Each structure stands twice: as structure tokens, then as C-alpha cells.
Amino acid sequence: MEKTGFLPTLIFLLLFSTFQAILSANSPNITTDQSALLALKSHIGHDPHNLLVTNWSTCTSVCNWIGVTCGSRHHRVTALDLSSMDLTGTIPSQLGNLSFLALLDISQNSFHGSLPTELIDLHRLKYLNFGNNSFSGEIPSWFGYFPTLQSLYLYGNNFTGVIPSTFGNLSKLETLSMYHNNLKGHLPSEIFDNLSKFQKL
């Protein structure tokens, strides 16, 4: 009796622990967030006040880094606020790995170039501020795929083109700020048909 029950249990335990190991090997953790932020640091060409150079050190946890906030429950980066630090640089695709990010504010700096598509993976974003930088290119249509986005600030950049129709999907959007760009055409009013929470443009 004991023998017949032992083998299946052993097999089950083996399978279970293998499965768990595979799962945890592939799931992102705070180390993923650290590599994403180090990638961002390496894309910053000019940091006149040496804010990140000394402070963003691998000797301490990313949760102690300036501008970084971690959540208590999952121990992942939930907010990144680098506003008004006089930074010059570009945004690396790795930033899309900060999968618990709810707030991203890099306003009042000199970030330039275009925004990497990988940022679409930041599906927990509620507040996004790219204001007063030098980003260029068309406003990405994937901005429309942030299901919980409440505030989007793109003012004071060099974005061109039209506001993509996907913005009509931003059902939680309350504030949209786009002034001082090189946008063309009129604002399609039907974009706002579904935005019941919308308050300010």
C-alpha cells in the first residue's frame, strides 16, 4: 500500500518543483528592474548635477535610488520620478521591463529621440509625463493601449503628425496635455466619445 502511494507522490513533487523553478526563472523581479534602470543610466549623456552617477550605485538596492519608489507588496519599482534634473539622454527599450511601474515622470529635462515601442509593456501606468523635453517623431499609436492611464503629458516636445485614433481606447483618461508640439490637423472629436472620465485638455 505504502509503495503504490509513494511513487506518484514523488513524481508529483518532482514535477511541481521543476515547474516552480521554470516559472521563477522566467518571471521578472527587482533584478530585472535594476537592469532596466542601469540601461537608462547608460543612455544619459549629460548629468550636470551628478545625481545618478554616484547615487544609482549597485552597492545599494534600487529602491534607495534617487527618484525610485518600490511597492511594499511585490518589491518592484512602482514609480520613477526624474523630473527637473537637467538630464540629457534617450530612452532605452529596457525601460519597458519595469512591469510594475504606475508613475513615470521625466518632465523638464532634455531627453530626445523617439520613444521605444517596448514601453507598451508598462500596462500598469496611471501617470505618464514626458513634458518639456525634446522628443521627436510621430505620437505613437500604442499610447492608446495603456488600460489604466489617467494622465498623459506630452507638452513642450517636437512631436509631429496627428493624434492617433487609438487614444479613443483610453477609457480611464482624465488629463491630456499636448500643447507646444508640431501637431497637424484637427482633433477628431469622436476620440473623446468613449472617454467618460475625461476632464482636461
Ligand X SMILES: *[C@@H]1O[C@H](CO)[C@@H](O)[C@H](O)[C@H]1NC(C)=O
Concatenating the DSSP letter of every residue in 116-161 gives: -GGGGG-TT--EEE--SSEEEEEPPGGGGG-TT--EEE--SSEEEE
Site for ligand X contains 66 (CB under 6 A): yes
- Residue 113 sits in the site that holds ligand X (CB under 6 A): no
Nearer to ligand X, 97 or 151 (CB): 97
**122 vs 191, beta carbon nearer ligand X:** 191
Tally of CB atoms within 10 A around 167: 21
| Amino acid occupying residue 83 | S
Q: Nearest distance from residue 14's CB to ligand X, in Å? A: 21
Q: Does 61 bind ligand X (CB under 6 A)?
A: no
**What distance lies between CA 130 and its chain's CA centroid?**
11
For the stretch 35-74, what's the b/e string if a residue is b when 16 or more beta carbons lie within 10 angstroms of its beta carbon?
A: ebbeebbebbeebeeebbeeebeeeeebbebebbebeeee
Q: Which cell is 34 given?
A: 535594476
Q: In the bound complex, what is the minimum distance in angstroms from residue 81's beta carbon to ligand X?
A: 11
**Which window, 14-22, 41-49, 98-106, 188-196, contacts ligand X (CB under 6 A)?**
188-196
Among 25, 50, 184, 189, binds ligand X (CB under 6 A): 25
Taking CB under 6 A as the criterion, the residue among 90, 93, 99, 150 binding ligand X is: 93
Site string for ligand X, 143-162 (x = CB under 6 A): -xx----------xxx----
Task: Examine residue 71 and tell whether it contacts ligand X (CB under 6 A).
Answer: no
- Select from 145, 81, 140, 152 the least CA-distant residue to 116: 140
Q: Which stretch binds ligand X (CB under 6 A): 5-13, 15-23, 42-50, 92-100?
A: 92-100
104 vs 125: CA distance, rounded Å = 8
Rule CB under 6 A: say whether 189 interacts with ligand X: no
Provide the minimum distance between the beta carbon of 18 and ligand X in the complex, in angstroms, as a whole number: 15
The reply to whether 91 sits near ligand X by the rule CB under 6 A is: no
User: What is the helix (H) or strand (E) element at residue 138, kind and residue range?
Assistant: strand 134-138
Query: Does 20 engage in binding with ligand X (CB under 6 A)?
Result: no
Is residue 62 near ligand X by the rule CB under 6 A? Answer: no
| Residue 14: all three cell numbers together | 518532482
Q: Which is nearer to ligand X, 11 or 60 (CB)?
A: 60
Q: Phi first, then psi: give them for residue 107, nearest 5 degrees.
A: -65, 160
Cell of 126: 496611471
